[in-house]
Structure 1
Amino acid sequence: MSLRPPHAHLRLEGWDRPADPEDHALLALCVGPTLDVGCGPGRLTEALAERGHVVLGIDVIRGAVGRTRGRGGAALRRDVFEPIPGEGRWETALLADGNIGIGGDPAALLTRLREVLDPRGRIVAEVAPPGTTHHDGSATLHWQAQQHVIRWSVVGIDAVEALAGRIGLAIVDRIHVGARWAVVLEGAVT
């Protein structure tokens, strides 16, 4: 039996498509200026802009940021734990496609997003389905000919309430559309 945490393979090419109806159901939870954390090739950044949102995508993959910009979206090559333009003024932080796992420490990520958000802001986080065991490990991001190994976690809908509660956030909405699950988290920003 291996004690090594699981390793995921994330293929960004699979996210380089137009936003679909399930994506739009998730985007309907976003309000005001939105930070798309881990924007990848920008399908959601583009769709939010088309909905009239001020939106900034951030990602650590140079080529993915370039693709987002090529779609007409605003994007920066930036780690979410580095300074972000407009800190304290974003109304929504979007963590789609399981990006609540960025950095391998979901509590640290959610705490960081509380710093980035306006005090009345919200986090829209797509999570894994019921019955998924929470685990921390790593993932390899595949984009075109590049590979990047990152710290990564998987958080299921069953575990997100306890996780959020530990850092002063509460679930104010849940959605299940198709095979996707998401929550809206809100709380007082310190």
Structure 2
Amino acid sequence: MSLALSAARFGAGGAEPWAAALRSAAPTLELVPEDPSTESESLDVQRWSAVADRADRSTLEGLRGPLLDVGCGPGRMVRAALDAGLQAWGVDADPVAVSTCRAAGLPVLRRSVFDPLPLEGSWSSLLLLDGNVGIGGDVEAMFARCRRLLHRGGVLVVEAHPDPARDVAAMWRLRGAAGDSDSFPWSQVGMPALLRAAHDFDLEHAWQLDGRWFARLRAQ
């Protein structure tokens, strides 16, 4: 079975470090692989909870609504898209992330991106930032799902891992001050692996800003 079909959620279960970080604006969490040959990584939760920065805003240039931010977390990109005059929604499976968005007045759907969604095949733009191309642990399945959501000619903006050689699909745990989450599937891909997986998209533009790498892809 594809890892993308797993019900396990990012940072859920165990000590619930993701929910705790969202509630307390903890500065960082650690993404810890179950495979000891893969290195752990620090995650900048504080940036995800802050106002969109210039690298974030660069991903919105030229986009049209309706726009869907996949794995929207606390909603900074939904807010940025609305502020840019776009019709925008977020989708996230985490109840605390969804509650955080709704408390801020942001439109958000509480479900997995792999669940049925409104406007199937009619979205003009999708965002996959902050490593969310790795949701479910199967990058090709994520790209296929995004293609089904977009209309023909729609745009997907996706963020790649900063290491161009990165191509990992594994089980991970999220580690916070109080302990670890349950394990969940996650992938990490640098730009070459990301583009290899995007079978149903044409690359329009790739750029680097403030140490982050992005690709703008158009649905075939």
Q: What TM-score range do you get, normalising by the shorter chain?
A: 0.7 to 0.9
Shift in Å, 1:122:
1.4
Q: C-alpha separation between the residues in 2 aligned to 1:3 and 1:67?
A: 29
Seen in structure 2, the aligned counterparts of structure 1 residues 32 and 102 have a Cα distance that, compared at 3 Å, is same
- The answer to whether 1:184 aligns with 2:216 is yes
SS of 2:59 mapped into structure 1: helix
Shift in Å, 1:130:
4.5
Q: C-alpha separation between the residues in 1 aligned to 2:215 and 2:49?
A: 23
TM alignment of 1:159-178, pairs within 5 A? 159-164=193-198, 167-178=199-210
Q: C-alpha separation between the residues in 2 aligned to 1:105 and 1:26?
A: 23
Q: C-alpha separation between the residues in 1 aligned to 2:176 and 2:61?
A: 27
What's the C-alpha RMSD, in Å, of the aligned pairs? 2.6
Q: C-alpha separation between the residues in 2 aligned to 1:180 and 1:162?
A: 19
**2:122 counterpart residue number:** 89
Q: C-alpha separation between the residues in 1 aligned to 2:48 and 2:159?
A: 14
Indicate if the aligned counterparts of 2:151 and 2:219 stay in contact, CA closer than 8 A: no
Of the three residues 20, 24, 42, the one matched with 2:57 is 24
Structure 2-normalised TM-score? 0.75
TM alignment of 1:1-190, pairs within 5 A? 4=35, 6=38, 10=43, 12-140=45-173, 147=181, 149-164=183-198, 167-188=199-220
Quick one: which amino acid aligns to residue 101 of structure 2? T
Seen in structure 2, the aligned counterparts of structure 1 residues 116 and 29 have a Cα distance that, compared at 3 Å, is same
Deviates more, 1:143-152 or 1:132-141: 143-152
Seen in structure 2, the aligned counterparts of structure 1 residues 149 and 27 have a Cα distance that, compared at 3 Å, is farther
Q: C-alpha separation between the residues in 2 aligned to 1:13 and 1:143?
A: 13
Q: How many aligned residue pairs are there?
A: 185
Deviates more, 1:68-77 or 1:139-148: 139-148
Quick one: which amino acid aligns to residue 189 of structure 2? V
Q: C-alpha separation between the residues in 2 aligned to 1:68 and 1:126?
A: 22
Q: C-alpha separation between the residues in 1 aligned to 2:182 and 2:75?
A: 18
Indicate if the aligned counterparts of 2:169 and 2:188 stay in contact, CA closer than 8 A: yes
Q: Deviations over 1:120-178 (max 9, x none)?
A: 211100111243320001344579989464311001012222221xx232211111111
Q: C-alpha separation between the residues in 2 aligned to 1:185 and 1:12?
A: 26
Q: C-alpha separation between the residues in 2 aligned to 1:11 and 1:138?
A: 20
Report the structure number with the largest CA radius of gyration.
2
Seen in structure 2, the aligned counterparts of structure 1 residues 45 and 149 have a Cα distance that, compared at 3 Å, is farther
Q: C-alpha separation between the residues in 1 aligned to 2:165 and 2:91?
A: 27
Q: C-alpha separation between the residues in 2 aligned to 1:20 and 1:13?
A: 12
Unpaired stretches in structure 1, ≥5 consecutive residues: none
Unpaired stretches in structure 2, ≥5 consecutive residues: 1-32
